[in-house]
Amino acid sequence: MEIRNVIPKPYEKSILPGICFDTEIEYMKYKEAILEINGWLRVNSGKIIAEIKEELSNGAKSVYEI
């Protein structure tokens, strides 16, 4: 699994200031699965400054095969 093309931009759906990371994730079909995305945002000094949670935007693209 590989994370590619992380694009930070302002989060427009909030009254409080926020940041959104549009992200592309590459994975191997039938061998890997993305269940959820979460984590922590850490600055270069190592300090954790925010929690990251998955939220699909209206423009999000998903691929489903049966």
For residue 9, list its beta bridge partners. 20
* DSSP β-ladder status, 48-53 and 38-42: antiparallel
Considering the entire predicted model, what is its pTM? 0.55
Q: What is the mean pLDDT of residues 20-25?
A: 84
Say if residue 66's pLDDT is above 60: no
* Residues 30 and 15: beta-carbon distance below 8 Å: no
Please, which pLDDT band fits residue 47 given cuts at 50, 70 and 90? Answer: very high
Q: Taking 90 as the threshold, does the pLDDT of residue 45 lie above it?
A: yes
Q: How confident is the model at residue 65 (pLDDT cuts 50, 70, 90)?
A: very low
Q: Say if strands 38-42 and 2-10 run parallel, antiparallel, or are unpaired.
A: unpaired
